[in-house]
């Protein structure tokens, strides 16, 4: 695709950056203010270029030149839709002033055609409910009407023979709406609106079923720019091909563009589109949308909505997700996540009993028992149980043992049994009886997953059986959120009721989450939480997957500012995944040591707290040398489990990075060319390894992932020393202090929390002695509890 772009230079969408004060009517498409007097628009017909002059953040006059269309791009002969009509509809806008010139490329069989739409928004202006480009042999008409004369005002773009005649008309039109920048009231007017300066949504539709792709096109610029991947989809693996928010440092302006997944009838985004981090020339605004055909050769009709947002603040320009927060968020803030992957049901109960006892019954638990399925681990998916022929895995115990575990776990909080309704095995009863079939890819080959249309009957039968036998009060279903974008689950069989459309598959995914939550009347969890469109009201909790985060520089900012309020995120993913990339060679070969390596465990926890995630236990059941020590377990439960109540679901005030001996913002790092989301094989920036987070509720947090120690004063008379992977959290009123660091006048690192609001204190001196304690100790309302335990005896309960 990229080679073709070099051969046929096209402009899919030209974005003209605009600046001005945000003031708009609640009516759609209605602008109430005049153009900002600090902006000048002009059009040069000889070069067919559009100019916008404005003052940047330094009050210097700047000019953007936008190519309106050279040669054939400006001619409508041979519109891609053939005899079909294609319409572009402004569906919503929050701009009060601008001029936007849009060029769209559509692929039709083996040909590419480009057609354009001019949206002219000078002064008060109202756009009709639809703007349609009609296909005719000669003229293509864009209809609009002004508020001034309430009459249609056609802008006619003629064919090549008529193009010369239209130049003077266009020249006059643009000159009439030009404003002399020398007469502006203030060169700093554009600063009067901080944050989001404008937003517009443009809908592109066609009845044609032969269109192969719709492109967002190019942003034309000669200014330097950098682009930050501000999407959860690209965060877990540091993949470069997801939408990026562009930043123009010399202007102090951000541009965010993305297609709506909820409305898209395409099959997927094109990962081969321009994914450069920085440059000083034109760039692809965001990945295009591909329309791959079903196996009968038919494509879906085009229906896409592109949202463009422009602002001078990064986190007001990047949009918030549209879904609601989880209704279980407040409850789960008080729970820690036990992710139990091995062992018997009675061993799991024993572990939970010991942990509850040692924490003085002050902690509540969200327990997910993973390895219980009929036939063994993932052997017969999507079937986990089908009585009486397919009971739970007998190696974990009897049905009565599972009932006993469920009964006790529910007294401690929430309990769920793992399912997976997506993965399909040929040995499964559902496949053998013809109730489940493999989805087909676009070449007709069987995929790894089931047809989505066949899940309902299996899910309803199985969840009812689980409910009747075990009475869980939560549910967990794997791979709902670890497959990332909806197109991972397409089925190209034309006979299937769910077409290979992004919006159709996303809707089905969301419907399945509601069925699962309703079935057990509780929260739903899933793995990795990589699909941001399923968070919040759809998937309530899960581990937060960051692959090989141990070797990566990390920024928590997107997660904290755009996802924190949606669901409860625990840990930093399945523990072995935080220390290497797929295919996880060290883990699968048994050479890993993350369970016993204190450096690894400390960095996992420091990153967990940096990202504002909850306490997480990941147990696999290995030999004694690879068990997580009980002091680590207690600290995770009592320290992180207490601290998390102050940050889970809370809003962020600021995030800053220690670089060049001072705290700097992410925007400042972008200006210096630092890419905050790079894969592990790229040199990592030290600017992202010492980070300060301040929450709106007054909680301060500093995390140090650099080798050098870092002193932190948390009051006028007190400080700690943060070693590598050390951290401190505190409130300035003295009500809360927590750290994993060297306290003042102490040479050894300890783990400590004091919560005066709850009259609660916990200390792990880490084999040293502090406050006259040499073992993990807990104080509740001034009563002291020595958390003494027999390591060998307790280890048996860990070996699940």
Q: What are the pLDDT digits (tens) for 469-513?
A: 999 999 999 999 997 799 999 999 999 999 999 999 999 999 999
- φ/ψ bin of 66: left (φ > 0), alpha (ψ from -120 to 50), beta (otherwise): beta
Instruction: Select, from the ranges 114-118, 357-361, 421-425, the one with the highest average predicted confidence (pLDDT).
Output: 421-425
Range with the poorest average pLDDT among 62-76, 647-661, 738-752: 62-76
| Confidence at residue 251, expressed as pLDDT on a 0 to 100 scale | 80
| Confidence at residue 792, expressed as pLDDT on a 0 to 100 scale | 59
If we measure between CA atoms, which residue out of 366, 462, 376 comes closest to residue 416? 366
567 or 799, which is more confident: 567
Q: Are 48 and 75 spatial neighbours (Cβ–Cβ below 8 Å)?
A: no
| Contacting residues for 411 by C-beta, under 8 A, at least 6 apart | none
Question: Which residue's structure tokens are 């909790």?
Answer: 541
pTM score over 0.75: yes
Q: Are 439 and 449 spatial neighbours (Cβ–Cβ below 8 Å)?
A: yes
Strands 61-67 and 131-133: unpaired
385 or 89, which is more confident: 385
Q: What are the pLDDT digits (tens) for 637-646?
A: 999 999 999 9
Over residues 645-672, the mean pLDDT reads 97
pLDDT at 260 over 90: yes
| Confidence at residue 626, expressed as pLDDT on a 0 to 100 scale | 56
pLDDT band at 43 (very low <50, low <70, confident <90, very high): very low
pLDDT at 597 over 60: yes
pLDDT at 187 over 90: no
554 or 43, which is more confident: 554
Over residues 76-85, the mean pLDDT reads 29
Over residues 711-728, the mean pLDDT reads 96
| Confidence at residue 45, expressed as pLDDT on a 0 to 100 scale | 44
Other CB atoms within 10 A of residue 508 CB: 17
717 burial level (CB within 10 Å; 0-12, 13-18, 19+): exposed
Encoded tokens for 16:
């003209």
For every residue of 306-356, DSSP letters joined together read EEEEEESSHHHHSPPPSSPPPTTHHHHTTEEEEEE-SS-HHHHHHHHHHHH
Over residues 227-232, the mean pLDDT reads 92
Over residues 743-770, the mean pLDDT reads 95
If we measure between CA atoms, which residue out of 300, 293, 196, 283 comes closest to residue 243? 283
pLDDT band at 706 (very low <50, low <70, confident <90, very high): very high
pLDDT band at 9 (very low <50, low <70, confident <90, very high): very low
pLDDT at 100 over 50: no
| Confidence at residue 60, expressed as pLDDT on a 0 to 100 scale | 67
User: What's the rounded Cα separation, in Å, for the pair 276 and 266?
Assistant: 24
Q: What are the pLDDT digits (tens) for 313-337?
A: 999 989 999 999 999 999 999 999 9
| Confidence at residue 221, expressed as pLDDT on a 0 to 100 scale | 75
pLDDT at 399 over 50: yes
pLDDT at 680 over 50: yes
If we measure between CA atoms, which residue out of 218, 211, 207 comes closest to residue 110? 211
Mapping DSSP onto H, E and C, the string for 515-552 reads: HHHHHHCCCEECCCCCCHHHECCCECEEECCCCCHHHC
pLDDT band at 286 (very low <50, low <70, confident <90, very high): confident
Looking at the chain, the whole-number percentage of residues with pLDDT higher than 90 is 60
Question: Which residues make beta-bridge pairs with 277?
Answer: none
Q: What are the pLDDT digits (tens) for 516-554?
A: 999 999 999 999 999 999 999 999 999 999 999 999 999
pLDDT band at 800 (very low <50, low <70, confident <90, very high): very low
pLDDT band at 627 (very low <50, low <70, confident <90, very high): low
280 burial level (CB within 10 Å; 0-12, 13-18, 19+): exposed
pLDDT band at 184 (very low <50, low <70, confident <90, very high): very low
User: What's the rounded Cα separation, in Å, for the pair 321 and 344?
Assistant: 40
Q: How far is CA 196 from the centre of its chain?
A: 20
| Confidence at residue 157, expressed as pLDDT on a 0 to 100 scale | 24
Q: Are 25 and 33 spatial neighbours (Cβ–Cβ below 8 Å)?
A: no
Average pLDDT, the chain: 78
pLDDT at 168 over 50: no
Q: How far is CA 574 from the centre of its chain?
A: 18
Encoded tokens for 737:
């202090």
Range with the poorest average pLDDT among 251-255, 368-372, 760-764: 251-255
């Amino acid at each position: 695709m990229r080679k073709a772009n070099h051969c046929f230079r096209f402009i899919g969408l030209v974005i003209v950056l605009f600046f001005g004060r945000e003031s708009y009517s609640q009516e759609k498409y209605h602008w109430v203010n005049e153009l900002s007097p600090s902006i000048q628009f002009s059009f040069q017909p000889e070069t067919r270029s559009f100019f916008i002059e404005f003052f940047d953040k330094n009050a210097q006059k700047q000019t953007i030149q936008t190519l309106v269309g050279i040669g054939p791009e400006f001619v409508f002969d041979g519109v891609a839709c053939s005899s079909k009509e294609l319409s572009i509809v402004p569906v919503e806008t929050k701009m009060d002033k601008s001029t936007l010139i849009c060029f769209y490329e559509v692929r039709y069989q083996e040909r590419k055609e480009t057609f354009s739409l001019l949206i002219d928004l000078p002064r008060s202006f109202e756009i009709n409910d639809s703007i349609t480009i009609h296909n005719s042999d000669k003229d293509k008409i864009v209809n609009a009407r002004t508020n001034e004369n309430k009459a249609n005002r056609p802008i006619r773009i003629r064919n090549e023979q008529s193009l010369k005649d239209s130049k003077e008309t266009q020249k006059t039109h643009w000159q009439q709406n030009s404003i002399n920048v020398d007469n502006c009231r203030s060169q700093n007017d554009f600063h009067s609106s901080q944050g989001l300066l404008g937003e517009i949504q443009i809908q592109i539709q066609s009845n044609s079923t032969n269109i192969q792709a719709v492109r967002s096109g190019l942003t034309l610029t000669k200014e330097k720019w950098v682009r930050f991947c501000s999407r959860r989809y690209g965060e877990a693996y540091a993949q470069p091909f997801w939408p990026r928010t562009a930043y123009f440092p010399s202007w102090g302006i951000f541009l965010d563009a993305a297609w709506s997944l909820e409305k898209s009838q395409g099959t997927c985004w094109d990962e081969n589109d321009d994914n450069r981090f920085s440059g000083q020339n034109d760039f692809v605004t965001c990945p295009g949308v591909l329309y791959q055909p079903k196996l009968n050769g038919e494509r879906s009709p085009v229906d896409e909505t592109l949202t463009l947002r422009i602002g001078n603040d990064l986190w007001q320009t990047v949009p918030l997700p549209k879904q609601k927060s989880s209704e279980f968020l407040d409850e789960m803030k008080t729970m820690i996540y036990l992710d139990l992957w091995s062992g018997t049901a009675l061993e799991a109960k024993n572990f939970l009993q010991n942990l509850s006892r040692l924490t003085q019954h002050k902690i509540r638990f969200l327990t997910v028992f993973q390895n219980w399925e009929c036939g063994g681990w993932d052997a017969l998916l999507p079937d986990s149980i089908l009585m009486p022929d397919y009971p739970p895995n007998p190696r974990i115990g009897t049905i009565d043992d599972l009932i006993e575990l469920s009964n006790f776990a529910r007294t401690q909080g929430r309990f769920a049994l793992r399912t997976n309704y997506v993965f399909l095995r040929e040995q499964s009863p559902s496949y053998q009886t013809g109730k489940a079939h493999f989805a087909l890819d676009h070449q007709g080959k069987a995929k790894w997953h089931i047809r989505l249309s066949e899940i309902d009957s299996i899910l309803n039968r199985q969840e009812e059986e689980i409910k009747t036998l075990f009475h869980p009060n939560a549910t967990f279903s794997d791979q709902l959120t670890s497959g990332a974008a909806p197109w991972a689950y397409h089925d190209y069989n034309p006979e299937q009721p769910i077409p290979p459309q992004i919006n159709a598959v996303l809707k089905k995914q969301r419907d399945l989450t509601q069925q699962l939550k309703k079935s057990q009347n509780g929260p739903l969890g899933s793995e990795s939480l990589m699909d941001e469109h399923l968070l919040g009201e759809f998937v309530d909790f899960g581990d937060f997957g960051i692959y090989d985060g141990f070797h990566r520089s990390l920024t928590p900012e997107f997660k904290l500012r755009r996802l924190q309020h949606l669901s409860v995120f625990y840990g930093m993913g399945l523990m072995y995944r935080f220390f290497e990339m797929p295919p996880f060679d060290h883990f699968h070969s048994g050479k890993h040591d993350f369970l016993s390596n204190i450096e690894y465990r400390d960095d996992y926890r420091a990153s967990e707290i940096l990202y504002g995630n909850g306490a997480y236990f990941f147990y696999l059941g290995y030999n004694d040398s690879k068990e997580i020590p009980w002091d680590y377990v207690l600290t995770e439960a009592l320290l992180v489990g207490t601290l998390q109540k102050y940050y889970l679901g809370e809003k962020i005030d600021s995030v800053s990075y220690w670089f060049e001996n001072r705290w700097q913002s992410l925007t400042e790092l972008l200006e210096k060319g630092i890419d905050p989301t790079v894969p592990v094989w790229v040199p990592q920036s030290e600017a992202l390894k010492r980070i300060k987070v301040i929450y709106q509720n007054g909680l301060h947090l500093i995390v140090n992932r650099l080798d050098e120690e870092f002193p932190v004063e948390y009051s006028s008379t007190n400080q700690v020393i943060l070693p590598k992977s050390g951290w401190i959290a505190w409130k300035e009123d003295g009500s809360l202090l927590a750290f994993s660091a060297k306290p003042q006048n102490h040479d050894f690192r300890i783990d400590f929390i004091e919560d005066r609001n709850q009259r609660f204190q916990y200390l792990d001196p880490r084999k040293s002695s502090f406050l006259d304690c040499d073992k993990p100790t807990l104080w509740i309302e001034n009563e002291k509890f020595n958390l003494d335990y027999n390591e060998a005896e307790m280890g048996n309960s860990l070996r699940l």
